[in-house]
Amino acid sequence: MIDSATSKLESLRKVTLSLLDSQHPAYSLRPEVVEMTTILTNSGTILSTHKKDISDGETQTSNGLALSPTMAAMCAGDFVRTIEFIRGTYAAIADMRKRFPDRPAQILYVGCGPYATLAVPLMSVFSPAEATFTLLDIHLEAIDSAQSIVETLGLSNCVANFETVDASSYQVCRYRPPDVILMEIMQTCLESEPQVAITRHLLKQAPNAILIPEEVSIELTLVDPSHEFDLNELEQNSCTIQRDRIPVSSIFIVNRETVSSWKNIDSNRLPASTVKIPNYTEQRYQPMLFTKILVYQNHILKEYDSGLTCPRVLSIEGTIKPGNTIQFYYELGSHPQLKNETLLIWPN
Ligand SMILES: C[S@@+](CC[C@H](N)C(=O)[O-])C[C@H]1O[C@@H](n2cnc3c(N)ncnc32)[C@H](O)[C@@H]1O
């Protein structure tokens, strides 16, 4: 008789292979993500469900908010995000395998949360000789849960270490730096959570690692809200919305190059673009910030694909007028966020 751990692992492997099958667009695979999450939930010690508030157990760090284990577990349900991150990480590991076929690729998964959602499925399709993972989270409850899932599924050989630590003080092994650094510790517009600070801290120590996501960018666009949403069309699953947008400028980009360009900055202020607002009809358009996530290669999350890429209305002190020049910057610290100030440009 096949024991239950073996059959759970086999089910996980099967559903992971479906998630990785690029014949199927990510948006069509919600039931598969639900199935995957159910397998993870039913393996190992389960998070306490008696929390009064889903934010119970969150930690405010000096670099941003660490979501509670309950909220981190819920991130799996942002299913297109979950699939694109799993697909991108799979592709990065496959690339590392080609570069170093004689040893396993080492993946450092930062902020793994209680299900290690973006890694455990991949452990079911890569052997320990192909890929080994370090699972890291600031919350002990998350690491205890991830460890119990890994052990229940018989995947302990795929995990090099479990680390309960604030990633912004984590030191990678100098002799065996990670090949892939995987983390999704962000919200739309890179607000609140410490993705930027931790990316800087880790990439400095492992400059050759593949970074996942490879790039997060924020763009300013003028949007006509009356053409942006049509609930009837959305309900009918139709793709006929004729959006009316005027792209203005890229505002802030986090990738290997920009992180390296900030290496001598000690202050909490990282540079972003200075933008002159073009002439536009103020009654018709609204300035909005669009977040785009390049997970890896062709695995991309664009507007509305995920909670992480929902456009935000640009919040600005005072009013924004055509012709204004706005200077953006990214403020690090306990409440990281993109900020701006209007520059006074005197006419010649
Ligand atoms: C948005 S959740 C993502 C959970 C899971 N990785 C996923 O993608 O579904 C972010 C996770 O990062 C962890 N985290 C946040 N800040 C951290 C820090 N400074 N050091 C280590 N973990 C952190 C949180 O505890 C939480 O589990």
pLDDT tens per residue across span 6-31: 999 999 999 999 999 999 999 999 99
Residue 67: CB within 6 Å of ligand 1?
yes
| Same structural domain, 62 and 104 | yes
Helix, coil or strand: residue 270 = strand
Q: Is 224:245 a contact under the CB 8 Å cutoff? A: yes
Closest by Cα among 208, 145, 151, 198 to 174: 208
Interatomic CA distance for residues 117 and 36, integer angstroms: 9
Chain centre to alpha carbon of residue 166: 17
In the numeric block, which tokens belong to residue 30?
Answer: 């919600």
For residue 314, tell me if it sits in a domain. Answer: yes
Residue 320 confidence (pLDDT): 82
Check whether residue 49 and residue 163 sit in a common domain.
yes
Host domain of residue 287: 217-343
- Least confident piece of the model among 78-92, 129-143, 149-163, 235-249: 235-249
Query: How far, in Å, CA of 179 to CA of 100, rounded?
Result: 10
Burial class (CB in 10 A: 0-12, 13-18, 19+), 342: middle
Specify whether 212 is located in the same domain as 274.
Answer: no
Please, what is the angle between helix 4-20 and helix 79-99, to 10°? Answer: 90
Number of domain units in the chain: 2
- Do 233 and 177 fall within a single domain? no
Residue 154 lies in a domain: yes
306 lines ligand 1 (CB under 6 A): no
Q: Are residues 112 and 42 in the same domain?
A: yes
**pLDDT above 90: percentage of residues in the chain:** 84
Is the pLDDT at 51 greater than 80, yes or no?
no
**Which of 58, 59, 67 is the pocket-test mutation for ligand 1 (most atoms within 8 Å of CB)?**
67
Mutate to test the pocket of ligand 1, among 138, 147, 193 (most ligand atoms within 8 A of CB): 138
Ligand 1 centroid – CA 283 distance (Å): 40
How far is the centre of ligand 1, averaged over its atoms, from the C-alpha of 36 (Å)? 19
Q: Report the separation in Å between the CA atom of 112 and the middle of ligand 1, taken as the mean of its atom positions.
A: 6
- Which residues are paired to 220 by β-bridges? 249, 289
- The reply to whether 237 and 291 lie within a common domain is yes
Supply the pLDDT for residue 109.
Answer: 98
Answer yes or no: do 266 and 198 share one domain: no
Residue 313 lies in a domain: yes
Is 240 found in the same domain as 154?
Answer: no
> In the structure encoding, which two tokens stand for residue 51, read together?
């929390």
pLDDT of residue 178: 98
Judge if 73 and 194 occupy the same domain: yes
For residues 217 and 290, is the Cβ–Cβ distance under 8 A? Answer: no
> Per-residue confidence at 326, pLDDT binned at 50, 70, 90?
very high
Centre of ligand 1 to C-alpha 138, Å, is 7
CB-based burial of residue 257 (10 Å sphere; 0-12 exposed, 13-18 middle, 19+ buried)? exposed
**CATH code, 17:** 3.40.50.150
Has residue 348 been placed in a domain? Answer: no
pLDDT of residue 1: 46
pLDDT classification of 288: cutoffs 50, 70, 90: very high
Residues 36 and 150 in one domain: yes
